[in-house]
Amino acid sequence: MKIIITENYDEMSIKAARMVSSQITLKNNSVLGLATGSTPEGMYRELINMYNNKEISFNDIITFNLDEYYNLEKDNTESYDYFMRKNLFNHIDINKKNIHIPNGMTEDIDYECINYDNMIKSKGGIDMQILGIGGNGHIGFNEPNINFEATTHLVNLTEDTIEANSRFFDSIEEVPTKAISMGVKTIMNSRKIILLANGKGKAEAIYNAVKGKITPTHPASVLQLHNDVTLILDKEAAALL
Ligand code: PGA
């Protein structure tokens, strides 16, 4: 694991955006795995700036998002589909047909999940996967005690995650309790992985991911087994390393 420790959130975001833009420069039709949440918002802002300055184009880029809430309409302002449009896709030249986000409104979960992994394979696999990390060590929505062999699947969110995500909803009752998420195996098949974390609330999860035992109890610890992972952390998230 390569670990980059930055002074603050903005520096973390700029470093991450530069890694993504280098990937795009190296391969203009890269397959990017994208994440939602508060952590990558600054990175997306930087990527939009780079696009506006004509440093990069997303015209041939293909994207696969990590996860989506189950049974939440795409146009709900808390869906990850909405998040991605608002924070990135509406501001860049990506071809809409190249955007993939699990369909949380599917009537056939098994088909949706198998098809999602098959689509990733058919595009040649993910070149660079961006990850955040949950305070409980989840990656995507792979919650503690996940099966490391899982591919894309329907997950039951833990109480920790529901509570953490309730900050975006009017009440905790409105937070979906299930999501469709790429599995650990899907994530581990990516050629490169960049994990971002900021704030002291992530310090313990980062410690467990980097120095802890590799165990499904701390899903992010599996990343120790991947040969091209970069963690970009602010000082607070790195405080226990
Ligand atoms: P956050 O979520 O970026 O909103 O902290 C990260 C995650 O839960 O994976």
Six-digit token pair at 147?
């099966």
Residue 7 is a catalytic residue: no
Residue 10 is a catalytic residue: no
Residues with CB under 6 A from ligand 1: 37-39, 132-134, 138
Q: What is the pTM of this model?
A: 0.97
Residue 200 Cα, ligand 1 centroid: separation in angstroms? 13
pLDDT in tens, 5-51: 999 999 999 999 999 999 999 999 999 999 999 999 999 999 999 99
Where helices occur in 27-158 by DSSP H, the ranges are 41-52, 80-87, 109-122
Q: Is there a contact between 164 and 134 (Cβ–Cβ < 8 Å)?
A: yes
Q: According to the model, what pLDDT value does residue 179 have?
A: 97
Ligand 1 atom nearest the C-alpha of 35 is 9
> Which residues of the chain are under the pLDDT cut of 50?
none
